[in-house]
Amino acid sequence: MPAETLRWFTLGCGAQLAVERMPSTRSAAAVWLLPVGSCGDPEGDAGEGESTVLSDMLLRGADGMSSRAFSDALDALGAQRHSAAGVHHLTVSLLTMGDRMPEALRLASLAVRRPNLDAEALEPVRSLALQSLAGLGDEPQHLCMVKLREFAMPRPFNRSGFGTEAGLKSLTADGIRRAWSRRARPAGTIIGVAGDVDPERIRDHVERLLAGWEGTAAEPAPSCEPALG
């Protein structure tokens, strides 16, 4: 891609922002990479699986808006959205028309900075996570890859994200909220936007949305050599 179409910015809060203008399209996509991956989950039965539960709860209401109201606001923009936890980051992705991206980013910023994380949302999310964990036994190929990662990578970077049964059951609504407040910090966050957008306008808009957000999340370090090392 031509270098001049991709702009990198360091925001006042410390987050990194990359914006690529693509004049040939009317749509725009955005992704937020937050330092809330499985490698930062509590160890084992203390809460492993926390990041996956957080990713499933994140878009279920924000800033006092109910899950339904928040979903309706995104639907009104025609915005597709998805959230998922990886090893290093929790990812929130959005796709909508370019002229609607500023409002989509505003709603995403509410989910990041002021998520509801309601207690009543925890149980259905936990239930789904436990079902996914139990279902691994019915997928030998997937289970094999999970076990291979456990042996090939150093802890805590060898985690699958499924968590443990005891770890998932140990999570509480208050603990989930504290974990998000502690882990979702601007230092280590990367935001990317591409499509029918103006880089400088997006930068200024996101600066306003994230004004006052601050802090750095603890960075996990390898605790041992991989078993296959």
Whether 143 maps to a domain, the answer reads yes
Helix or strand run (H / E) with residue 143: helix 140-152
Whether 54 maps to a domain, the answer reads yes
pLDDT for res 3: 47
> What's the CATH code of the domain at 191?
3.30.830.10
d(CA 202, CA 185): 20
SS3 for 15?
A: coil
d(CA 155, CA 104): 36
Whether 217 maps to a domain, the answer reads no
d(CA 113, CA 30): 17
Whether 215 maps to a domain, the answer reads no
Residue 63's CB is within 10 A of a number of other CB atoms, namely: 14
Whether 218 maps to a domain, the answer reads no
d(CA 98, CA 103): 10
pLDDT for res 229: 57
Decide: pTM greater than 0.75.
yes
Helix or strand run (H / E) with residue 71: helix 67-76
Whether 117 maps to a domain, the answer reads yes
Structural domain that includes position 143 = 3-209
d(CA 47, CA 70): 28
pLDDT tens, position by position, 134-146: 999 888 998 899 8
pLDDT for res 138: 87
Amino acid identity of residue 33, one-letter, is L
Helix or strand run (H / E) with residue 53: helix 50-57
Whether 214 maps to a domain, the answer reads no
In a 13 Å sphere around the CA of 177, the CA atoms on its Cβ side amount to 10
Q: Tell me whether the omega of the peptide bond preceding residue 115 falls within 30 degrees of 0, making it cis.
A: no
d(CA 32, CA 205): 15
- Residue 182, Ramachandran bin (φ over 0: left; ψ between -120 and 50: alpha; else beta): alpha
Whether 226 maps to a domain, the answer reads no
pLDDT per residue rounded down to tens, the chain (229 residues): 454 589 999 999 999 999 999 999 999 999 999 999 999 999 999 999 999 999 999 999 999 999 999 999 999 999 999 999 999 999 999 999 999 999 999 999 999 999 999 999 999 999 999 999 999 988 899 889 988 888 889 989 999 999 999 999 999 999 999 999 999 999 999 999 999 999 999 999 999 999 999 999 888 888 777 766 5
Residue 88's CB is within 10 A of a number of other CB atoms, namely: 19
Q: Count of domains in the chain? A: 1
